[in-house]
Amino acid sequence: MTTHPAPSLVAQANPTFAGGDALGSAGSTPAFSPLYQQIKGLILQSLQSGEWKPGEAIPSEMDLAARFRVSQGTVRKAIDELAAENLVVRRQGKGTFVATHAEQHVQYRFLKLQPDNGDTQSEGPAERTIIDCKRLRASADIARALSLRSGDPVLQVRRVLAYVGVPTILEELWLPGTPFKGLTAERLSNYNGPMYALFETEFGVRMVRADENIRAVNPDAEQAELLKVDAATPLLSVERVAYTYNDTPMELRRGLYRTDTHHYRNALS
């Protein structure tokens, strides 16, 4: 394993833990965040830089403690928070791994539409139809959502997800153009896994959290035709901004959901 020098912590701190080891240089400005939070930030930096890829194991708690010159308990608390945020996954007897959207149990972490019968396996994977994929200039509202400038290049993707042959979700996605250079309708159509796994493996972009706004709407004529519903049918409109590390927005997704056989389910804690 490659040995990495222990980097300076947040705010150039000089904190100590119960064992008496110190980090940083004497006389520097005290940090205001707990030591484990600073270690969490350093691990996040390594995740963001790609030192450990999605699906790969990160160093053991012992190795990380030696690298950052802190106690294993401090490292464990930092990793506990990362695991609670679905950024890493603990596997009993195997270690801790960078979470990936390619894993079965997290593939649809951001998709909350469930069949009314409660059996998510009964429908099988969604049948995906790419309507179009084109490069455009960002309008003011798209640029604002993605922290871009108006006129910056963006990619617009539209697709329909059908379950058991019934069109159920109509989605419009907006992606910043530079990170997703080379993404085409053909690549999207030929990829069999979830879209966020494609973003990870081929573009190095991992979505780690999302914010959503939900409301009820009626479709316009084109939307009604694509979803095979009457124009008076109420639909669930879900607007999501998905972020990669460091709270960088990487996707604006606007979805219209049919709810005649499905419902939106979210577990709150």
- Express each pLDDT in 156-182 by its tens digit: 999 999 988 999 999 999 999 999 999
How would residue 27 be classed by pLDDT, with cut points 50, 70 and 90?
very low
Q: Residue 41's CB: how many other CB atoms inside 10 A? A: 14
d(CA 261, CA 120): 12
137 bridge partner residues: 153
Q: Which of 14-18, 56-60, 84-88 has the lowest mean pLDDT?
A: 14-18
- Express each pLDDT in 217-235 by its tens digit: 999 999 999 999 999 999 9
174 bridge partner residues: 156, 252
Q: Can you give the pTM of this predicted structure?
A: 0.72
Calculate the alpha carbon distances from 136 to 173, 176, 251, 260 in Å.
12, 10, 15, 34
111: tokens are: 């998709």
Please give the average per-residue pLDDT across 177-195, as a whole number.
Answer: 92
Q: Which helix (H) or strand (E) holds 29?
A: none
Instruction: Judge residue 39's burial from the number of C-beta atoms within 10 Å of its C-beta, 0-12 exposed, 13-18 middle, 19 or more buried.
Output: buried
Q: Which of 89-93, 150-154, 165-169 has the lowest mean pLDDT?
A: 89-93
